[in-house]
Every structure is written in C-alpha cells, then in structure tokens.
C-alpha cells in the first residue's frame, strides 16, 4: 500500500473510476449510489429518530431511517438509466426497473445496515452488491462490483470492481476522495468479531472461538456488520463471524445483500469468506432473503474455522436446505 501522495490522493471517486478504466455505466451507477449516501448521512445526522408511521413535532409523518434510506436509494437507482432490477432488505420481491437490460446492472442492497444502532449513536452503513445484466439470483462471485458506505464519525466508501479494494473519505464538500488503494489483509489476524449468543454456539464454533482466545486474539465487536468488516479490512487483519447457532441454524446475515458483497471485498483484499464449509461467493441463493453462517477475514483464520468445524461437526450444523454450490449461474 502506498503512502498518501498529495496530488494522487485528492482524486475524487468519478475521476479515479475513469482513470482505472471502469466501464461507463458502472461508473455512473457507483457514483449514483455515492450521491444517494450523501442524503442518507444527512438524514442520519439531522433526522429525528422517527419510527415508521409516527408523526414528528410538526405533525408530519415520519419514516424510520432504514425506510427513508431505502427510498433514497431506490429513487436514485430507478432514475439512473443503468439499472435493470433491484432489491433490498426492505423489499419482499425483486423490483424490475428496465426490461432493456443489456449493458445495465442489477443491484441488491441493505440501505441501512445496523439501523437498530442509530438510537445509541453507533456506526451504521449501506451495503451494495452489483451484478451485470438482469439476474440477481446468482452466486456472489459473479458480481461486477461490491461496495459499502460507513456512516461513522467519518463517512467512508469502500468498493471493488474486481481489481483490488479502494477506500474513499467524504470531505467537507461532501465529495469522496481517495484515502487508500489496494487494501490487503495479512494471512492471519489478532482480533475477532463474534456475532451471536455464546451459549448458543455449536461445539465446533465454541472450540474455534476458544482456540482464538487461547492464541490471545482480541475481541472487537461493534454489532454493526459494516463497521466490523471495515475494521478487519482497514486494520488489515482479523476475523468476523456470525456462525450457525443452536437456535439460529442458518445464522443471521443475508446472503444476497450482506454476505456476498462483503465476501467479494474481503476476497479482493486477499482474505476469505466461508459459511463454514465452502466460499460464500460460491453459494447460489434460492430466496432473496436467504441467510447463511459466515466466517470472514484473514485466510488462515477462515481455513482454521472450516477445519475445526469439519473435525467437530462435519461442517455447519445446518446448511440452508436449498442452498447449493454452483460452478456457474444459469
């Protein structure tokens, strides 16, 4: 990773995408999402913490921030001219945008991940998976790009189009400028971020987490998937897990718009992401809200999780019944 050199690191997002040869419609799409995030961060910073369906001081109907973030993104994508289909955490089906899909992209997004952390003023984010063409129901490996925006003390945007991972920061003019390029992970880390209630861990997960602790790995869990993954990526080390649990055999996180994009970014940084048996990016979703267990971060730490699960339980306690691995999508 190179040190910030003044001229180079003042490059804004659009110029960087142009200079790195990203396809024009994809540039447009990524920049539209970046634009939408400016309205989302504004709502988070200034909005009342409304609950959907309630009124504010002035008797105006309020939207919960996740619903508002969803509307902001939906509108932007709808009018972008480069989107074929879209779906989000807030939708119960895929929304067609344009039947004329050639040269366009389909987008799956979590508009405000970790929204339950907003009222306690912790970091939240937007996660986006971008597929070429019209088909969203395909393995994450076929993404054209993946990105997230982290609304923390600073607002940052991390993306990959398959040529490394780049981080941008929002400056005082609300422009995203390049902070770090070609972010990479060490083979093995010294921090872990474990989701799920410990007394619900299966024997394999319990042994794995105990082995990390014996190694002296430090616990760092914020409860927000975006900041927790951002920590691993930008510290260059660590592992995040939200495993299969006795009471949640398919884990908690959603494949299409949470796990696939994060797995894409982590693999691009030289790390790995697994459901305990196989790479997250090879899982074929059968349902738009399908969940999967996840072990994601430094490669050796993920491989160790797979190995210990094999030893103690022959893989994740319960594979999503319908999830199957595929070589190529239809």
- Distance from C-alpha of 317 to C-alpha of 275, rounded to nearest angstrom: 11
**Using rule CB under 5 A, residue 113 touches Mn ion:** yes
Q: Does 293 bind ligand F6P (CB under 6 A)?
A: no
Q: How far is the CB of 195 from ligand F6P (least distance, A)?
A: 5
* 225 near ligand F6P, judged by CB under 6 A: yes
Nearest-approach distance from CB 116 to ligand F6P, in angstroms:
6
Instruction: Pick between residue 26 and residue 265 the one whose CB is nearest to ligand F6P.
Output: 265
Query: Rounded to the nearest 5 degrees, what angle is found at the Cα of 279, between the Cα atoms of 282 and 114?
Result: 95
Buried b (16+ CB within 10 A) or exposed e, 305-326: bbebbeeebebbbebbeebeee
Q: DSSP state, 285?
A: P
**Least Å from the CB of residue 80 to ligand F6P:** 25
Q: Does 224 bind ligand F6P (CB under 6 A)?
A: yes
| Residue 240 vs residues 130, 159, 288: alpha-carbon distances, Å | 23, 19, 23
Chain position whose Cβ is nearest to ligand F6P:
225
Residue span binding Mn ion (CB under 5 A) among the ranges 34-42, 110-118, 230-238, 263-271? 110-118
Q: Tell the smallest beta-carbon distance from residue 248 to Mn ion (Å).
A: 15
Q: How many CB atoms lie within 10 A of CB 41?
A: 19
Q: Is 297 in the site for ligand F6P (CB under 6 A)?
A: no
Provide the 3-class DSSP secondary structure of residue 160: strand
Contacts with Mn ion by CB under 5 A: the residue count is 2
Q: Which of 133, 152, 223, 270 binds ligand F6P (CB under 6 A)?
A: 223
Q: Which 249-288 residues touch ligand F6P, going by CB under 6 A?
A: 252-253
The size of the interface with ligand F6P (CB under 6 A), counted in residues, is 9
Which of 193, 209, 192, 190 lies closest to 201, judged by CA?
Answer: 209
7 in Cβ contact with 143 (< 8 Å) = no
Q: How far apart are CA 318 and CA 215, in angstroms?
A: 28
Binding site for ligand F6P (CB under 6 A): 113-114, 195, 223-225, 228, 252-253
Binding site for Mn ion (CB under 5 A): 110, 113
């Amino acid at each position: 990773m190179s040190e910030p050199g003044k001229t180079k690191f003042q490059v804004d997002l659009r110029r960087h995408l142009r200079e790195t040869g990203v396809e024009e419609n994809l540039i447009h799409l990524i920049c539209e999402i970046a634009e939408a995030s400016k309205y989302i961060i504004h709502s988070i910073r200034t909005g009342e913490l409304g609950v959907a369906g309630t009124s504010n001081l002035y008797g105006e109907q309020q939207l919960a921030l996740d619903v508002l973030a969803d509307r902001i993104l939906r509108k932007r994508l709808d009018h972008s001219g480069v989107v074929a289909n879209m779906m989000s955490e807030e939708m119960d089906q895929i929304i067609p945008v344009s039947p004329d899909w050639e040269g366009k992209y389909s987008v799956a997004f979590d508009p405000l991940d970790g929204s339950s952390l907003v009222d306690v003023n912790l970091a939240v984010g937007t996660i986006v998976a971008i597929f070429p063409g019209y088909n969203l129901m395909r393995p994450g490996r076929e993404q054209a790009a993946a990105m997230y925006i982290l609304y923390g003390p600073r607002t940052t945007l991390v993306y990959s189009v398959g040529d490394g991972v780049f981080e941008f920061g929002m400056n005082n003019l609300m422009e995203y400028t390049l902070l770090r390029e070609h972010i990479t992970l060490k083979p093995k880390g010294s921090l872990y971020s474990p989701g799920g209630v410990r007394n619900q861990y299966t024997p394999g997960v319990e042994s794995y987490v105990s082995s990390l602790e014996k190694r002296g790995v430090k616990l760092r869990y914020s409860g927000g998937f975006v900041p927790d993954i951002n920590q691993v990526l930008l510290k260059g080390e660590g592992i995040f897990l939200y495993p299969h649990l006795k009471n949640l055999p398919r884990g908690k996180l959603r494949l299409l718009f949470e796990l696939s994009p994060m797995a894409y970014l982590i693999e691009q940084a030289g790390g790995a992401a697994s459901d305990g048996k196989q790479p997250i990016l090879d899982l074929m979703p059968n349902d738009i809200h399908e969940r999967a267990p996840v072990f994601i971060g430094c490669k050796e730490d993920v491989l160790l999780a797979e190995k210990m699960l094999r030893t103690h339980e022959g893989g994740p306690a319960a594979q999503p019944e319908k999830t199957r691995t595929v070589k190529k999508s239809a």
